[in-house]
Amino acid sequence: MTDSVYYAELTPKAFRARLAAAPIAYLPLGTLEWHGEHLPLGSDGLQAQGFFERLAREVGGIVLPMLFLAPDMRFEIKGAAYFGMDYFGFPGDEAHQLEGSAYWVPDEFFAQLMEHCLAQLRRAGFRIVVAHGHAPSVQCVYANCEEWERRHGLKIFSCWREDESDGLGIQTDHAGGNETSLMMAMHPHLVHMEYLDPDPSVFPVAVGDEDPRTTASAERGQQAIALNLARMTELLREALATI
């Protein structure tokens, strides 16, 4: 069997072998979105993809290319569109169009896009889909999961736990201690902590929850990956046994 777990890199022969071993498709729900001065714009998809690669090597299955269109809160002010973090983290919560953000689609469009993806994956032979990444995209999956499972004959998973208060989940904040730690563990060459203001009294712009300068580390990222890898491995092995 080929070493690659990435759909786009598989020949039909390698695809057949991986699908027969474990008919699981992993869909990284990405964005092209401001994640602080210190993280790359594709951080959401990169974290989900990095976690899925590890999961696919453990349980089997195939990792899809990341989506970069996603839903989010959206506001229009004087004819200009603002979405997601554009509205948070500024003095007085004044809206700014954050540099590099280019991903927004309406909720209904995203739900339709997901349904078309699911229909294609079922047709290609998959029985289980794991979709995770950008929070509003994951929320859309949770909201529609049961109906989509019924309609498409699939089992659908995301990766959040019921209680994420330990900060060791997969993508539970916005470029804060959690996401920055995951990026440090998975893609250290893409993280630039030196781009953040060293003044501790200046909180990084449009970053959610904990200050990444004092709470993020590669070790914390590794711990989150190990914990969720064990949990998702168990869930997916159970699901494979029942299909």
Interface with Zn ion by CB under 5 A: which residues? 44
Shortest Å, Cβ 215 to Zn ion:
15
Rounded CA separation 172/24 (Å): 23
Name the one residue in this structure whose structure tokens are 């080929």.
2
What is the CB neighbour count within 10 angstroms for residue 11?
Answer: 10
Of 101 and 152, the one with the shorter C-beta distance to Zn ion is 101
Kindly state the smallest distance separating residue 152's Cβ from Zn ion, in Å: 27
CB of 135 to Zn ion, least distance (A): 7
CB atoms < 10 A from the CB of 197, how many? Answer: 12
Tokens read off for 39: 């993280």
For residues 37 and 58, which CB has a smaller minimum distance to Zn ion in the complex? 37
Task: Give the whole-angstrom CA distance, residue 170 versus residue 134.
Answer: 10
Q: CB-wise, 22 or 171, nearer to Zn ion?
A: 171
For the stretch 105-109, contacts whose Cβ atoms lie closer than 8 Å and that sit 24 or more positions apart, written own/partner, are 105/69, 105/70, 105/71, 106/71, 107/71, 107/140, 109/71
First to last CA, the chain: 23
Smallest distance, Zn ion to C-beta of residue 187, A: 13
Name the residue nearer to Zn ion (CB basis): 25 or 31. Answer: 31
Angle between helix 107-123 and helix 135-152 axes, rounded to 10 deg: 50
Nearer to Zn ion, 44 or 72 (CB): 44
Give least dist CB 146 to Zn ion, A.
Answer: 26
Q: Which residue sits closest to Zn ion, CB atoms considered?
A: 44
How far is Cα 54 from Cα 2, in angstroms, rounded to an integer? 15
For residue 11, give the amino acid letter. T
**Which lies closer to Zn ion via its Cβ, residue 23 or residue 47?**
47
Q: Smallest gap, in angstroms, from Cβ of residue 182 to Zn ion?
A: 9
Q: Which is nearer to Zn ion, 44 or 86 (CB)?
A: 44
Longest CA span, the chain: 57
Angle at the Cα of 186 from the Cα atoms of 127 and 221, rounded to 5 degrees: 95
Minimum CB separation of residue 99 from Zn ion in Å reads 16
